[in-house]
Structure 1
Protein backbone atom coordinates (compact mmCIF):
# COMPACT_ATOMS: atom_id res chain seq x y z
CA UNK A 1 0.00 0.00 0.00
CA UNK A 2 1.40 3.39 -1.01
CA UNK A 3 1.94 5.98 1.66
CA UNK A 4 0.29 9.32 0.93
CA UNK A 5 2.67 12.25 0.66
CA UNK A 6 1.59 15.47 2.30
CA UNK A 7 2.51 18.28 -0.02
CA UNK A 8 3.65 21.52 1.52
CA UNK A 9 2.22 24.56 -0.22
CA UNK A 10 4.40 27.00 -2.06
CA UNK A 11 5.17 29.96 0.21
CA UNK A 12 2.97 32.28 -1.84
CA UNK A 13 -0.13 30.03 -1.45
CA UNK A 14 -2.22 29.81 1.68
CA UNK A 15 -3.97 26.65 2.84
CA UNK A 16 -7.74 26.97 3.25
CA UNK A 17 -10.36 24.48 4.32
CA UNK A 18 -13.50 23.13 2.68
CA UNK A 19 -15.51 25.96 4.27
CA UNK A 20 -14.29 29.44 5.13
CA UNK A 21 -15.69 32.61 6.64
CA UNK A 22 -15.28 35.43 4.11
CA UNK A 23 -16.20 39.11 3.82
CA UNK A 24 -17.70 40.82 0.79
CA UNK A 25 -16.74 44.44 1.56
CA UNK A 26 -18.40 46.11 -1.44
CA UNK A 27 -21.66 44.30 -0.65
CA UNK A 28 -21.61 45.27 3.08
CA UNK A 29 -21.12 41.72 4.34
CA UNK A 30 -18.55 41.43 7.11
CA UNK A 31 -18.64 37.68 7.59
CA UNK A 32 -20.45 34.91 5.76
CA UNK A 33 -19.76 31.22 5.36
CA UNK A 34 -18.55 30.11 1.95
CA UNK A 35 -18.16 26.62 0.52
CA UNK A 36 -14.87 26.02 -1.26
CA UNK A 37 -15.70 24.08 -4.42
CA UNK A 38 -12.82 22.97 -6.63
CA UNK A 39 -15.38 21.41 -8.99
CA UNK A 40 -16.89 24.81 -9.81
CA UNK A 41 -15.06 27.14 -12.15
CA UNK A 42 -16.90 30.36 -11.28
CA UNK A 43 -17.68 31.59 -7.77
CA UNK A 44 -21.32 32.33 -6.91
CA UNK A 45 -23.38 34.43 -4.51
CA UNK A 46 -26.94 33.66 -3.46
CA UNK A 47 -29.37 36.33 -4.63
CA UNK A 48 -33.12 36.50 -5.01
CA UNK A 49 -35.39 38.60 -7.22
CA UNK A 50 -32.73 38.84 -9.96
CA UNK A 51 -33.89 41.01 -12.87
CA UNK A 52 -32.87 43.73 -15.32
CA UNK A 53 -34.15 47.29 -15.11
CA UNK A 54 -33.51 50.41 -17.11
CA UNK A 55 -31.84 53.17 -15.10
CA UNK A 56 -32.72 56.89 -15.23
CA UNK A 57 -29.93 57.41 -17.77
CA UNK A 58 -31.33 54.67 -20.03
CA UNK A 59 -28.62 52.13 -19.20
CA UNK A 60 -29.58 48.60 -18.27
CA UNK A 61 -28.96 47.58 -14.67
CA UNK A 62 -29.09 44.21 -12.98
CA UNK A 63 -31.11 44.39 -9.73
CA UNK A 64 -30.96 41.78 -6.97
CA UNK A 65 -31.75 41.13 -3.36
CA UNK A 66 -28.55 39.86 -1.79
CA UNK A 67 -29.42 36.59 -0.06
CA UNK A 68 -33.15 36.26 0.76
CA UNK A 69 -35.45 37.12 3.68
CA UNK A 70 -34.93 33.70 5.29
CA UNK A 71 -31.15 34.23 5.62
CA UNK A 72 -29.93 35.71 8.95
CA UNK A 73 -27.67 38.24 7.17
CA UNK A 74 -30.36 39.48 4.78
CA UNK A 75 -30.31 43.29 4.98
CA UNK A 76 -33.30 44.25 2.79
CA UNK A 77 -31.00 46.20 0.45
CA UNK A 78 -31.71 46.02 -3.25
CA UNK A 79 -28.36 46.01 -5.09
CA UNK A 80 -27.95 47.42 -8.58
CA UNK A 81 -25.03 46.78 -10.91
CA UNK A 82 -24.40 48.73 -14.10
CA UNK A 83 -21.44 46.55 -15.07
CA UNK A 84 -22.22 42.87 -15.52
CA UNK A 85 -22.11 40.04 -18.03
CA UNK A 86 -24.66 37.42 -18.95
CA UNK A 87 -22.94 34.04 -19.34
CA UNK A 88 -23.74 30.39 -19.74
CA UNK A 89 -22.66 28.56 -16.59
CA UNK A 90 -22.97 24.87 -15.86
CA UNK A 91 -24.86 24.24 -12.61
CA UNK A 92 -23.91 21.59 -10.07
CA UNK A 93 -26.56 19.40 -11.71
CA UNK A 94 -24.84 19.66 -15.10
CA UNK A 95 -27.45 21.99 -16.61
CA UNK A 96 -26.27 25.01 -18.58
CA UNK A 97 -27.94 28.17 -17.25
CA UNK A 98 -27.68 31.80 -18.25
CA UNK A 99 -26.52 33.77 -15.22
CA UNK A 100 -25.54 37.32 -14.51
CA UNK A 101 -21.90 37.73 -13.48
CA UNK A 102 -20.51 40.70 -11.54
CA UNK A 103 -17.08 41.71 -10.29
CA UNK A 104 -16.70 42.51 -6.60
CA UNK A 105 -14.17 42.08 -3.84
CA UNK A 106 -13.87 39.23 -1.38
CA UNK A 107 -11.68 39.21 1.73
CA UNK A 108 -10.08 35.94 2.75
CA UNK A 109 -7.27 35.99 5.32
CA UNK A 110 -5.90 39.53 5.05
CA UNK A 111 -6.15 39.49 1.29
CA UNK A 112 -8.77 41.48 -0.63
CA UNK A 113 -9.29 39.93 -4.05
CA UNK A 114 -11.33 41.27 -6.96
CA UNK A 115 -13.22 38.35 -8.44
CA UNK A 116 -16.16 37.38 -10.62
CA UNK A 117 -19.30 35.97 -9.02
CA UNK A 118 -22.35 34.58 -10.74
CA UNK A 119 -25.63 35.67 -9.19
CA UNK A 120 -27.92 32.73 -8.64
CA UNK A 121 -30.68 31.43 -6.44
CA UNK A 122 -28.83 29.17 -4.01
CA UNK A 123 -31.75 28.95 -1.56
CA UNK A 124 -31.74 25.16 -1.87
CA UNK A 125 -28.01 25.06 -1.09
CA UNK A 126 -26.49 25.04 2.40
CA UNK A 127 -23.96 27.80 1.75
CA UNK A 128 -24.87 31.19 0.25
CA UNK A 129 -21.40 31.79 -1.21
CA UNK A 130 -19.43 29.35 -3.32
CA UNK A 131 -15.74 29.89 -4.10
CA UNK A 132 -14.66 28.31 -7.40
CA UNK A 133 -11.37 27.40 -9.08
CA UNK A 134 -10.93 30.69 -10.92
CA UNK A 135 -10.60 32.55 -7.60
CA UNK A 136 -8.57 29.80 -5.91
CA UNK A 137 -6.03 29.29 -8.69
CA UNK A 138 -2.49 30.47 -7.88
CA UNK A 139 -3.60 31.73 -4.44
CA UNK A 140 -4.84 28.88 -2.28
CA UNK A 141 -4.50 25.17 -1.65
CA UNK A 142 -7.58 23.41 -0.30
CA UNK A 143 -7.22 20.97 2.58
CA UNK A 144 -10.61 19.23 2.69
CA UNK A 145 -9.93 17.87 6.18
CA UNK A 146 -9.98 21.42 7.58
CA UNK A 147 -12.50 24.26 7.85
CA UNK A 148 -12.44 27.93 8.82
CA UNK A 149 -8.64 28.11 8.56
CA UNK A 150 -8.72 31.85 7.75
CA UNK A 151 -10.95 32.62 10.74
CA UNK A 152 -8.70 30.63 13.11
CA UNK A 153 -5.67 32.46 11.70
CA UNK A 154 -7.42 35.82 12.28
CA UNK A 155 -8.23 34.91 15.91
CA UNK A 156 -4.64 33.77 16.50
CA UNK A 157 -3.30 37.06 15.04
CA UNK A 158 -5.65 39.10 17.26
CA UNK A 159 -4.52 37.17 20.34
CA UNK A 160 -0.89 37.65 19.39
CA UNK A 161 -1.42 41.43 18.98
CA UNK A 162 -3.27 41.63 22.31
CA UNK A 163 -0.41 39.89 24.12
CA UNK A 164 2.20 42.33 22.80
Structure 2
Protein backbone atom coordinates (compact mmCIF):
# COMPACT_ATOMS: atom_id res chain seq x y z
CA UNK A 1 0.00 0.00 0.00
CA UNK A 2 1.35 3.40 -0.99
CA UNK A 3 1.03 6.00 1.74
CA UNK A 4 -0.25 9.47 0.86
CA UNK A 5 1.96 12.41 1.85
CA UNK A 6 0.55 15.05 4.19
CA UNK A 7 2.08 18.41 4.98
CA UNK A 8 2.37 20.01 8.41
CA UNK A 9 -1.13 21.55 8.17
CA UNK A 10 -4.23 20.72 6.18
CA UNK A 11 -7.98 21.26 5.88
CA UNK A 12 -10.36 18.36 6.42
CA UNK A 13 -14.04 17.56 6.83
CA UNK A 14 -15.67 15.87 9.82
CA UNK A 15 -18.96 14.81 8.18
CA UNK A 16 -20.53 13.28 11.32
CA UNK A 17 -19.97 16.57 13.17
CA UNK A 18 -21.12 18.80 10.27
CA UNK A 19 -17.72 20.53 10.25
CA UNK A 20 -16.18 21.27 6.85
CA UNK A 21 -12.88 22.73 5.65
CA UNK A 22 -11.44 22.67 9.17
CA UNK A 23 -7.83 23.71 9.76
CA UNK A 24 -5.81 20.88 11.30
CA UNK A 25 -2.23 20.64 12.49
CA UNK A 26 -0.46 17.38 11.68
CA UNK A 27 1.61 16.62 14.78
CA UNK A 28 3.85 13.56 14.75
CA UNK A 29 4.98 14.47 18.26
CA UNK A 30 1.48 13.90 19.63
CA UNK A 31 0.18 10.37 20.10
CA UNK A 32 -3.53 11.17 20.26
CA UNK A 33 -5.63 13.47 18.10
CA UNK A 34 -7.56 16.29 19.77
CA UNK A 35 -10.43 18.58 18.83
CA UNK A 36 -11.40 21.84 20.49
CA UNK A 37 -14.84 21.94 22.06
CA UNK A 38 -16.68 23.94 24.67
CA UNK A 39 -19.67 23.67 26.95
CA UNK A 40 -19.01 19.99 27.61
CA UNK A 41 -21.51 18.34 29.89
CA UNK A 42 -22.39 14.80 30.76
CA UNK A 43 -26.01 13.93 31.50
CA UNK A 44 -26.95 10.34 32.17
CA UNK A 45 -25.28 8.21 29.52
CA UNK A 46 -24.86 11.08 27.03
CA UNK A 47 -22.15 13.64 26.38
CA UNK A 48 -23.03 17.11 25.05
CA UNK A 49 -20.67 19.70 23.58
CA UNK A 50 -20.34 22.50 21.04
CA UNK A 51 -17.55 22.81 18.48
CA UNK A 52 -16.81 26.49 17.95
CA UNK A 53 -13.80 28.78 17.90
CA UNK A 54 -13.79 32.55 17.40
CA UNK A 55 -10.72 32.51 15.16
CA UNK A 56 -12.10 29.82 12.83
CA UNK A 57 -15.42 30.70 11.16
CA UNK A 58 -15.88 27.20 9.65
CA UNK A 59 -15.45 25.64 13.09
CA UNK A 60 -18.98 26.15 14.39
CA UNK A 61 -21.64 23.61 15.26
CA UNK A 62 -24.91 23.30 17.06
CA UNK A 63 -24.79 21.23 20.23
CA UNK A 64 -23.63 17.70 19.40
CA UNK A 65 -24.74 14.68 21.44
CA UNK A 66 -22.63 11.54 21.79
CA UNK A 67 -24.21 8.29 22.95
CA UNK A 68 -20.84 6.54 22.90
CA UNK A 69 -17.73 8.04 24.47
CA UNK A 70 -14.98 7.09 26.87
CA UNK A 71 -12.21 8.67 28.95
CA UNK A 72 -8.48 8.57 28.39
CA UNK A 73 -5.37 10.00 30.05
CA UNK A 74 -3.38 12.36 27.85
CA UNK A 75 0.11 13.57 28.71
CA UNK A 76 0.98 17.02 27.35
CA UNK A 77 4.39 18.02 26.04
CA UNK A 78 5.19 19.58 29.44
CA UNK A 79 4.46 16.27 31.20
CA UNK A 80 1.07 17.27 32.67
CA UNK A 81 -1.50 14.44 32.69
CA UNK A 82 -5.13 15.19 31.95
CA UNK A 83 -8.16 12.89 31.83
CA UNK A 84 -10.22 13.73 28.73
CA UNK A 85 -13.36 12.58 27.03
CA UNK A 86 -12.70 10.56 23.87
CA UNK A 87 -15.10 10.22 20.95
CA UNK A 88 -15.05 8.23 17.73
CA UNK A 89 -16.05 9.96 14.51
CA UNK A 90 -14.99 10.15 10.87
CA UNK A 91 -12.64 12.46 9.00
CA UNK A 92 -12.00 12.92 5.29
CA UNK A 93 -8.45 13.05 3.91
CA UNK A 94 -7.80 12.94 0.15
CA UNK A 95 -11.52 12.35 -0.47
CA UNK A 96 -11.53 9.15 1.62
CA UNK A 97 -13.43 8.70 4.89
CA UNK A 98 -11.48 7.33 7.89
CA UNK A 99 -12.51 6.51 11.45
CA UNK A 100 -10.69 8.62 14.04
CA UNK A 101 -10.51 8.81 17.84
CA UNK A 102 -10.49 12.39 19.11
CA UNK A 103 -9.98 13.62 22.64
CA UNK A 104 -12.05 16.67 23.58
CA UNK A 105 -9.81 19.53 24.58
CA UNK A 106 -9.76 23.26 25.19
CA UNK A 107 -7.69 24.59 22.29
CA UNK A 108 -9.16 28.11 22.20
CA UNK A 109 -5.70 29.67 22.55
CA UNK A 110 -4.19 27.42 19.88
CA UNK A 111 -3.76 28.35 16.22
CA UNK A 112 -5.51 25.15 15.07
CA UNK A 113 -8.75 23.79 16.54
CA UNK A 114 -7.73 20.21 15.65
CA UNK A 115 -4.49 18.32 16.17
CA UNK A 116 -3.94 15.06 14.27
CA UNK A 117 -1.56 12.71 16.10
CA UNK A 118 0.47 9.59 15.34
CA UNK A 119 -2.18 7.12 16.43
CA UNK A 120 -4.31 8.17 13.44
CA UNK A 121 -1.45 8.82 10.97
CA UNK A 122 0.23 5.46 11.51
CA UNK A 123 0.10 3.03 8.57
CA UNK A 124 -1.82 5.59 6.44
CA UNK A 125 0.27 8.69 5.81
CA UNK A 126 3.79 10.10 5.59
CA UNK A 127 4.41 13.68 6.74
CA UNK A 128 6.61 16.16 4.87
CA UNK A 129 6.93 19.31 6.99
CA UNK A 130 7.83 21.38 3.92
CA UNK A 131 4.30 20.89 2.53
CA UNK A 132 0.84 22.25 3.40
CA UNK A 133 -2.77 21.38 2.49
CA UNK A 134 -1.95 18.25 0.47
CA UNK A 135 -5.28 16.53 1.13
CA UNK A 136 -7.30 19.71 0.64
CA UNK A 137 -5.67 20.60 -2.67
CA UNK A 138 -6.45 17.25 -4.31
Alpha-carbon distance in 1 for matches of 2:117, 2:61: 27
Q: Which residue of 1 aligns with 2:119?
A: 134
C-alpha RMSD over aligned residues: 1.4
Structure having greater relative contact order (Cα 8 Å, sep ≥ 6): 2
Deviations 1:93-130 (A, max 9, x none): 32100100000000010211001000111001100011
Tell me how many residue pairs correspond in the alignment. 138
What are the ranges of 5 or more consecutive residues in structure 1 without an aligned counterpart? 1-10, 55-59, 155-164
1:25 is aligned, of 15, 22, 25, to 15
Q: State yes or no: 1:41 paired with 2:31.
A: yes
* Matches for 1:32-111 after TM superposition, within 5 Å: 32-54=22-44, 60-68=45-53, 71-111=56-96
Bigger proportion of residues as helix? 1
Are residues 139 and 74 of structure 1, via their aligned partners in 2, closer, same or farther at CA, if it must alter by over 3 Å?
Answer: closer
Structure 1 residue 74: deviation in Å? 4.4
**Who wins on radius of gyration, i.e. which is larger?**
1
Alpha-carbon distance in 2 for matches of 1:78, 1:86: 20
What are the ranges of 5 or more consecutive residues in structure 2 without an aligned counterpart? none
Bigger proportion of residues as strand? 2
SS of residue matched to 2:2? coil
Are residues 69 and 78 of structure 1, via their aligned partners in 2, closer, same or farther at CA, if it must alter by over 3 Å?
Answer: farther
TM-score (norm 1): 0.79
Structure 1 residue 69: deviation in Å? 5.0
**Contact 1:18-1:146 within 8 A present in 2 as well:** yes
Are residues 112 and 76 of structure 1, via their aligned partners in 2, closer, same or farther at CA, if it must alter by over 3 Å?
Answer: closer
Structure 1 residue 51: deviation in Å? 1.7
- Large movers: runs of 4+ above 3 Å: 68-71
Structure 1 residue 76: deviation in Å? 4.8
Are residues 20 and 75 of structure 1, via their aligned partners in 2, closer, same or farther at CA, if it must alter by over 3 Å?
Answer: closer
Alpha-carbon distance in 2 for matches of 1:76, 1:105: 16
Residues 118-127 or 75-84, more deviating: 75-84
